[in-house]
Structure 1
Amino acid sequence: MEATTLSYANLHNHGELFANFFRARHETFIGRKRWDLPQVDGMEFDQYDTAASRWVAVHENGRVLAGVRLLPTTHQCGIYSYMIRDAQRGLLEAIPSNLLWQEAPIGEHIWECSRIFVSEHVPSGQRMRVQSQLIHEMVISARTFGATQVLGLIPALAPRLARRVGLDCEPTGPVLDIGGAHVCVEISLATKMH
């Protein structure tokens, strides 16, 4: 098992991994969760999958086991910035605007994580290892980009998992039903600077 952070600049080095990442997202969010999201050729994507995005993939033998998208909160593409902020601004019908207790932050040191998933094909005995690898690579990547904080919209039970693997993760909004119980969290990377 290995972890790779993909970008438009390096995707040519990783063969089918980039496409397989979006296929795994399709399987998770459209196939399993039945979310109404853009798709083409069996791949799920949205307006936040831009050249500014980075995609962390945990994979083995070309098969994507888990992943997450990272996007700087300073990014702007047309009317869109980042998913949590745009939801708060009322630009996204599927996500309530009251997802944060405060105004969505913008800063060079703050990145958003979204579309986090673990494939349903990962056996229960390996899930913790896969999740830990994903979180580890996400932290390394975010720190490489200069982030000291990550803002995420994640499943409501995920903060407990994050704390179990040593991640400083605090809710920053109410638990909402968004195709299941989800909550916005602030992840401090200050404790992960070593």
Structure 2
Amino acid sequence: MLTTTLSFENLHNHGELFANMLRARRELFIVHNKWDLPEAMGMEYDQYDTPASRWVVVHDELGQVLAGNRLTPTTAKCGIYTYMIRDAQKGLLETIPSHLLYEEAPVSETVWESSRLFVSHNVPAGIRRRVHAQLVLEISKAARNLGATQCLTLLNANWPRWAGRVGVDMTAMGPVMNIAEVDNQVVSMNFASNLH
């Protein structure tokens, strides 16, 4: 099991890995979850997949994607868009309620957003926890390398059951909301105590 953090600067070094990650996202979010999201050439994407973002990918030696995640700086801007949680709070996204945070969405060089977190349905049940833990570990490393002390993420509200297992300090930042028949909640992953 390998982990790679992709950016527009290093995509060319990793063959089809970026495209494979977008294909895996399509398989999960569009085909399995039946979300209405943009797609092209068998890949899912949205307005936040820009050169400002990074993508953490857990994969095998052949480039088969096991899990993935996108990191976007909260300082990002692309037209009217910034980052998903903030844009939802501003009422720009129809599918996510605007009351998802207790306070105003932060804009800071030390706060990034973690989004599109997934573990492929092709990952056998026996290693799903290990793959998920590896993904979260790599997200924390990548975030710290980018100067982040905190990541905001919209997660399944069952996060308290596994947060301790993956060794990340997590705090609820908003109410539990039902989105697409799943209870979700914005959570802060705090990396400040792990910075060296």
* TM-score with structure 1 setting the length: 0.98
The Cα RMSD (Å) is: 0.9
* TM-score with structure 2 setting the length: 0.97
Point out where structure 2 has 5 or more consecutive residues left out of the alignment: none
Moved runs in structure 1, 4+ residues, more than 3 A? none
Task: For 1:109 and 1:164, locate their aligned partners in 2 and report how far apart those are by CA, in whole Å.
Answer: 25
Counterpart in 2 of 1:181? 183
Check the 8 A contact 1:66/1:116 in 2, yes or no.
yes
Task: For 1:15 and 1:103, locate their aligned partners in 2 and report how far apart those are by CA, in whole Å.
Answer: 39
Counterpart in 1 of 2:162? 161
Point out where structure 1 has 5 or more consecutive residues left out of the alignment: none
Q: Could you report, residue by residue, the CA deviation over 1:102-140 in whole angstroms, capped at 9, with x for unpaired residues?
A: 100110000000000000111111011101110111011
| 1:110 aligns to 2:111 (yes or no) | yes
Give 2:48's aligned amino acid.
Y
Q: Where do 1:25-64 residues align within 5 Å? A: 25-60=25-60, 61-64=62-65
Task: For 2:65 and 2:30, locate their aligned partners in 1 and report how far apart those are by CA, in whole Å.
Answer: 16
Task: For 1:126 and 1:134, locate their aligned partners in 2 and report how far apart those are by CA, in whole Å.
Answer: 12
Counterpart in 2 of 1:126? 127
Give 1:166's aligned amino acid.
G
Percent identity over the alignment? 59
Give 1:81's aligned amino acid.
T
